Amino acid sequence: MEDTGRQSEQGRYRKFVKHLLESGGDRDDAMHQAIGGDFEAIGLLERDLLVAQGLRPDDFVIDVGCGSGRLSAPLSTYLTGGYLGTDVVPELLDYPRKSVERPDWRFELVEGLTIPAVDSSADMVCFFSVFTHLRHEESYCYLREAKRVLRPQGRIVFSFLEFALDYVWPVFETNVANIGSDAPLNQFMSRDGITSWARHLDLKVSEIHDGDVPAIPLAKPVSMETGHRYEQLGALGQSIAVLSLSKYDLARAKREDVLVGCSRMYLTSAAA
């Protein structure tokens, strides 16, 4: 049966982007505003966070809800390996497809809560400011899907708006003011919810960081649109959670490693 709730959330984001594009302003500005602004700075912070979590240049990254390419732009100068960006808004995906000059990378439209990648193929699966726009049950399904595509030593990294942190409370107040409107949802989460999801999915919560405490080691200083400059450590604004496969899954993955290696070799030779 069709999930009309999910359809309407995706529809809200599409409508929001359409409105921005039709408002007559600069297209680049619209593409940057559509995913929350601070395009260059947040992109650098997201990239440096993944590097701090162990991302190597030849890894494979999956960027769910990649939007207009805030992460893929700076990542393209670091990552020689593969990249898959997915989103539900076609106009957003067109932007990095043209501006990020990596014909080997994939930017794909998805309709449901799926990641179009084979099992155990990704070193990092990230969701930056994506669970912020989904119902909790949808985020849970996406985590299950992320676990499916994650390699044994891989990491799932996501950002979230946290109930416990007062500095994001104005966003909650905006949600209250927007009740009944078409504005995209700004979902809040709590750490005990994340811990429960991880437990039920056999995932391990490796790290959680407050969104306002600089903890991301930076390749170079990053200046925000507000004028604030992070020198050595940066913060995304949203809190960050890092999940990995639990011991149980690691043990199972090790047993399947040979098979994974074979299917990778097969995919490579089939593509050549």
Ligand X SMILES: C[S@@+](CC[C@H](N)C(=O)[O-])C[C@H]1O[C@@H](n2cnc3c(N)ncnc32)[C@H](O)[C@@H]1O
Nearest-5° Cα angle at 217, 162 to 238: 15
124 is an interface residue for ligand X by CB under 6 A: no
**The token pair that represents 219 in the structure block:** 């390749």
Determine, following the binding rule CB under 6 A, whether residue 67 of this chain makes contact with ligand X: yes
Contact pick of 76, 86, 120, 121 for ligand X (by CB under 6 A):
86
> Smallest distance from the beta carbon of 22 to ligand X, in angstroms?
17
Contact assessment for residue 61 and residue 124, using Cβ atoms and an 8 Å cutoff: yes
Q: Does residue 83 interact with ligand X by CB under 6 A?
A: no
Options 60, 83, 105, 128; binder of ligand X; rule CB under 6 A: 128
- In angstroms, the CA 67 to CA 159 distance is 15
For tokens 């005990």, name the residue: 192
- The interface region with ligand X, picked from 88-96, 101-109, 166-174, 226-234 by CB under 6 A, is 88-96
Among 66, 143, 201, 218, binds ligand X (CB under 6 A): 66
- Picking from 34, 30, 32, the residue whose alpha carbon sits closest to that of residue 21 is 30
Question: Burial of 195 by CB count in 10 Å (0-12 exposed, 13-18 middle, 19+ buried)?
Answer: middle
Which of 113/201 has CB closer to ligand X? 113
Give residues in contact with ligand X (CB under 6 A).
10, 13, 35-36, 64-67, 70-71, 86-89, 92, 110, 113, 128-130, 133-134
